[in-house]
Amino acid sequence: MTSPQVISESVIEPGTGKAIELLQGQILRVEQIEGGQCADFNCFNLHDYKEFMHCGRTRTVHGFHPTKGSFMWSAPPRERAMLYILEDTVGRNDVLFPRCSAYVYEASYGFAVHTNCHDIQAEAQREYGLTPDDVHDSFNLFMCTGVDADGHAFMTRQTTKPGDHKGFQESNHQDRPPAAARSELYAGVPKYADRGHRAADPALGRGSRDVRGRQAHRHLWR
Ligand SMILES: [Zn+2]
């Protein structure tokens, strides 16, 4: 196989997001530039916004940490494999935690105003006519989580390095519409997280604000 051709590449600064169209045969790579970052990821069918990735269905099929070889499923009544995880150098992702929001930061941590994944995601999706109500539960890339003995979910600091990455490909199932209609819309959003979540999590210490991480989205032809 020849090397994939790079179609586009962009750097996602902390606290920002970007919507990307991924057509059949293309690969989306999300890569760490400086390491130590998470990304909230949403995925919609480009031609039917009511079909989107469903974290509940996905974790039932692939567990709490879907990685290479897993599919990202949409909800019933469509319930189809939308994306395939082609590569994953870290093997850590999360489908337990919902996106953070302005309400969470205000109610739980006392920040009257705070950047949050819901608002970032809504802004990134807005150019496709989607509204804040359309943001769905996030697939949390690179995020390290678990469940304690009492059944509560927890998160721990992740230790990704520059160059760590994940690759996503449209799943190309035969029961789906033909090529041109099979494209999907992606919105990948880096969490403010190493800032927001760490600052907000009492267990990890409040007030740590060194935001240094960035991520790149690389868009490839296979
Ligand atoms: Zn967040």
pLDDT tens for residues 162-186? 999 988 887 754 333 333 323 334 4
Residue 55 has which token pair?
Answer: 């974290």
- The amino acid occupying position 92 is R
User: Six-digit token pair at 34?
Assistant: 């400086």
Q: How far is the CA of 176 from the centre of ligand 1 (A)?
A: 32
Task: Enumerate residue ranges in the chain where pLDDT < 50.
Answer: 173-213, 221-222
- pLDDT at position 74, please? 92
State the distance from the centre of ligand 1 to the C-alpha of 58, rounded, in angstroms. 20
CA 60 – ligand 1 centroid, Å: 23
Tell me whether the omega of the peptide bond preceding residue 14 falls within 30 degrees of 0, making it cis.
no
* pLDDT given at position 25: 80
CA–centroid distance, 32 to ligand 1, in Å, is 17
| d(CA 144, ligand 1 centre) in Å | 13
pLDDT of 55? 96
> Given 3-state DSSP classes, what are the helix, strand and coil percentages for the chain, each rounded to the nearest 5?
20, 35, 45
pLDDT at 185: 41
Global pTM reads 0.79
In the reported structure, the alpha carbon of residue 187 is separated from the centroid of ligand 1 by a whole-number distance in angstroms of 14
Residue given tokens 């705070």 in the structure block: 114
Q: For residue 65, what are its two tokens?
A: 């940490």
- Dihedral (CA of 167, 145, 130, 80) sign: positive
Q: Given its phi and psi angles, is residue 25 left (phi above 0), alpha (psi -120 to 50 degrees) or beta?
A: left
In the chain the first and final C-alpha atoms are separated, in Å, by: 9
DSSP class of 129: T
Interval between CA 39 and ligand 1 midpoint (Å)? 8
Tokens of 72: 């990202």
Expressed in angstroms and rounded, the spacing between residue 181 Cα and the centre of ligand 1 is 32
Report how far ligand 1's centroid is from the alpha carbon of 2 (Å): 38
